[in-house]
Amino acid sequence: MAEPEKIAIDVNSIENTEQIIGQLMDNYSDEVLHLVYSYVKDRTTAEDLTQEIFIKCYEKLGQFNNKSSIKTWLYRIAINHCKDYLRSWHYRKIKFSDKIWDYIPSKSKHVEEEIISKNVADSLTSAIMDLPIKYSEVVFLYYYEELSLSNISKITGVNSNTLKTRLKQARKLLKEKMKKEV
Amino acid sequence: MGDPFSNLKNSLSKDFEDLSFSEERKNAVRETIRRKQNHLELQYWKVETLKNILDSLQEEAKHGYDISTQLFRKNESSFKSNEGQIYILLHLLENKKIITSKWIEGKKYYSLTTKGKKYAASREHPDSKQLNSLKNFIEEASL
């Protein structure tokens, strides 16, 4: 497999930025989208946010210093963007109105949502998605993105030992959940 | 068996199989970037607009609001719905050393540099040839 981490980043050449973002999208956009989905759990929102994330990368590219890999940098931007979104007034408002709809019996749930939830049903995925974010985040990055704890620490700004504890706790929670379902 | 979650990746991958960042989405990103980048290029702006700004500064230094009211009188529509845009262009012209600015009593006054005057002086015959030469001039200045 090629090593996508080795994308040459020359922030001094501005004409290059569009190309760099193109490369980043070609290499990582699906991964970022999945990552974002694990936070927001809605397909369209995840796509919108991913789009915004790459635009943010374009705006911030000048601040990228080669100290971390471009992938680490990209993930950090992505995660921060997701968390900002989850904190936002807009999201909380929407979420509230969604909850209201939950109490009103209706068969016309969004088709897309149905596809995803059908996909996710009966699987570990839904169990992970249901975990509190601080757990699902570390599980996702560790098992799905296969990042090392030290790398996850760099991305999330959370201490490695804390991450280790959370991972342990998350495994426990998941096991309990799976047992219940069987 | 070791870690019971070692095949978690497979499980997640299967669920995310059809969750992909589409080409349309990528193009939307590219387009936004291009639009943002374009504002930073003189070529993006209409030659008429550039000419009107240089003209308005020919007599004296002016601040941004003055320039924009003068452009408005000339039926310049580039900034109609977005007045802040004029400052992007002024900043750009300043970077290209076509105009220069000075703070006077809390207001930023813009005036033509020698480079800017050079063109503005030949404005007497504003035919299409002139406009072309402004375009060339601007492109030269952009290098």
- The stretch B119-130 carries a mean pLDDT of 59
pLDDT at position B132 over 80: no
Q: Give A10: exposed, middle or buried? Use CB within 10 Å, 0-12, 13-18, 19+.
A: exposed
Q: How far is A144 from chain B (nearest CA, A)?
A: 5
Contact B9 A146 (CB under 8 A): yes
Q: Give A138: exposed, middle or buried? Use CB within 10 Å, 0-12, 13-18, 19+.
A: buried
Asked if the C-beta of B16 comes within 8 angstroms of chain A's C-beta atoms, the answer is: yes
Taking only the tens place, the pLDDT of each residue in B20-31 is 999 999 999 999
> pLDDT-derived band of residue A4, with 50, 70 and 90 as boundaries?
very low
Radius of gyration of chain A (CA): 18
Enumerate the residues of chain B whose CB falls inside 8 A of the CB of residue A174: 5
Q: Which residue of B has its CA nearest to A53?
A: B29
Closest CB from B9, B15, B25 relative to A119: B15
CATH of B42-142, picked from 1.10.10.10, 3.40.640.10, 1.10.3720.10, 1.10.579.10, is 1.10.10.10
User: What was the pLDDT predicted at B80?
Assistant: 73
Q: How far is A89 from chain B (nearest CA, A)?
A: 25
Domain chopping of chain B, boundaries: 42-142
Taking only the tens place, the pLDDT of each residue in A55-96 is 999 888 877 877 788 899 999 999 999 999 998 877 777 665
Helices (H), chain A: 17-40, 43-60, 70-87, 89-103, 111-120, 124-130, 133-139, 149-156, 160-181
Closest CB from B15, B28, B34 relative to A120: B15
Taking only the tens place, the pLDDT of each residue in B67-108 is 988 888 888 877 777 777 788 788 888 888 889 999 888 888
Extract long-range pairs of A149-156: CB within 8 Å, 24+ residues apart: A151/A72, A154/A68, A154/A72, A154/A76, A155/A72, A155/A75, A155/A76, A155/A79, A156/A76, A156/A79
When the pLDDT of each residue in chain A is averaged and rounded to a whole number, the result is 79
> pLDDT-derived band of residue B1, with 50, 70 and 90 as boundaries?
very low
Domains of chain A: 8-107 (1.10.1740.10), 122-182 (1.10.10.10)
When the pLDDT of each residue in chain B is averaged and rounded to a whole number, the result is 79
Contact B21 A50 (CB under 8 A): yes
Residue predicted with more confidence, B92 or A22? A22
Geometric angle at alpha carbon A110, from A109 and A115, rounded to 5°: 105
> pLDDT-derived band of residue A101, with 50, 70 and 90 as boundaries?
low
Contact B25 A51 (CB under 8 A): yes
pLDDT at position B142 over 90: no
Contact A144 B8 (CB under 8 A): yes
User: What was the pLDDT predicted at A108?
Assistant: 47
Q: What ipTM score was computed for the predicted complex, to two decimals? A: 0.71
